[in-house]
Amino acid sequence: MPRHVLDEYWIHPAARSAIAASHRDIVEEVQASVVDNRVVIIGMATIPMVAGARKLLDKLNVNYRYLEYGNYLSQWRRRNALKMWTGWSTFPIIFVDGMLIGGFQDLKTLAESGELMTLLNAERIS
């Protein structure tokens, strides 16, 4: 089921420019990391689910890139750009081979089923 996103037709051209420019740097940094790394975790400080995802991957000896953006009191506007871009509303935001898989519980489910290691043992599709 596709996510509802406001059609560009209904966004005034001046607003389109503002939307495209809003914290574009953070989105581009994440995009580059997703291209360069098989597993990327995007998080923020003091979030137990972020720590849990990192601990699980460490336990499985899976290499990953961790990007941390602030905490509850800082960088929330920048993090909001990532939420809008991905459509994922909580942290961590986790990518495997360029695909958003969700958060910690989703990672845990993939790991427990063996699908995570199957994905990572397969040749990466670019």
Give the CATH fold of the 13-121 domain. Glutaredoxin (3.40.30)
Q: Which residues of 108-120 are buried (b: 16+ CB within 10 A; e: fewer)?
A: bebbeeeebeebb
Instruction: Please say whether the beta carbons of 95 and 39 come within 8 A.
Output: yes
* Domain regions of the chain by residue span: 13-121
pLDDT digits (tens, 9 = 90+) for 37-86: 999 999 999 999 999 999 999 999 999 999 999 999 999 999 999 999 99
Instruction: Please say whether the beta carbons of 52 and 107 come within 8 A.
Output: no
For position 125, what pLDDT does the model report?
A: 67
CB-count exposure of residue 34 (10 Å: 0-12, 13-18, 19+)? buried
